[in-house]
């Protein structure tokens, strides 16, 4: 099982992906949401708790998280970085290995084009993993998991060669 995560302070998408023999199947998709009316520290806790709940429901071999992208320094960028930190720490605490992928690498893995739009990503993840993502965040999380699954055989061959 693979965990895919699309981190965000207001909405964090997650996806549970079963990859077996070249077949992909999404088994759980969702979004952890926080309210801007909630104190910031509590929002970070809610994100970590939401991811922890998913981690408790499944046995994961690995997690794929969308990485930070170039963003001007701003309050929004800082909040996003803090949300990612809370999520990454929670996954690491669970003992699941985490790999981060750029948005372009994820889009390229699922659509063949690193600049695909949200609609294209959503359409392709639905087809590749027999799923109907309920939100763009869940679709992006599923895309991250698919990206990881598509590179797993190569990573394993490299590991064995070392």
- pLDDT tens string, the chain, 162 residues long: the values are 999 999 999 999 999 999 988 899 999 999 999 999 999 999 999 999 999 999 999 999 999 999 976 566 677 788 889 999 999 999 999 999 999 999 999 999 999 988 899 999 999 999 999 999 989 999 999 999 999 999 855 555 545 666
The pLDDT value recorded for residue 78 is 86
| Distance, CA of 94 to CA of 84 (rounded, Å) | 16
Q: Which of 37, 61, 66, 148 is catalytic?
A: 66
| Active-site residue, 137 included | yes
The pLDDT value recorded for residue 84 is 94
The pLDDT value recorded for residue 70 is 58
Spatial strand order in the sheet of 98-101: 23-33, 11-20, 2-6, 62-66, 98-101
The pLDDT value recorded for residue 80 is 87
| Active-site residue, 6 included | yes
Q: Which of 56, 130, 137, 156 is catalytic?
A: 137
pTM of the model: 0.91
Q: Find out whether 15 and 141 touch, Cβ atoms under 8 Å.
A: yes
The pLDDT value recorded for residue 159 is 56
The pLDDT value recorded for residue 75 is 79
| Distance, CA of 140 to CA of 143 (rounded, Å) | 5
| Active-site residue, 117 included | no
User: CA quadruple 73, 118, 28, 62: dihedral positive or negative?
Assistant: negative
Between β-strands 11-20 and 98-101, what pairing exists: parallel, antiparallel or unpaired?
unpaired
The pLDDT value recorded for residue 153 is 53
The pLDDT value recorded for residue 161 is 65
The pLDDT value recorded for residue 49 is 98
């Amino acid at each position: 099982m693979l965990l895919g995560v699309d981190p965000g302070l207001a909405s964090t998408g997650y996806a549970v992906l079963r990859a077996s023999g070249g077949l992909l199947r999404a088994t759980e998709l969702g979004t952890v949401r926080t309210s801007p009316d909630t104190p910031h520290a509590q929002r970070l806790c809610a994100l970590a708790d939401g991811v922890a709940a998913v981690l408790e429901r499944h046995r994961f071999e690995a997690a794929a998280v969308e990485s930070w992208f170039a963003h001007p320094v701003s309050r929004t960028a800082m909040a996003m970085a803090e949300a990612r930190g809370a999520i990454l720490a929670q996954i690491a605490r669970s003992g699941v290995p985490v790999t981060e992928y750029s948005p372009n690498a994820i889009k390229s893995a699922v659509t063949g084009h690193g600049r695909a739009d949200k609609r294209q990503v959503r359409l392709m993840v639905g087809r590749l993993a027999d799923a109907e993502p309920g939100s763009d965040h869940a679709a992006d999380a599923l895309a991250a998991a698919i990206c990881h699954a598509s590179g797993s055989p190569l990573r394993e061959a490299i590991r064995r060669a070392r």
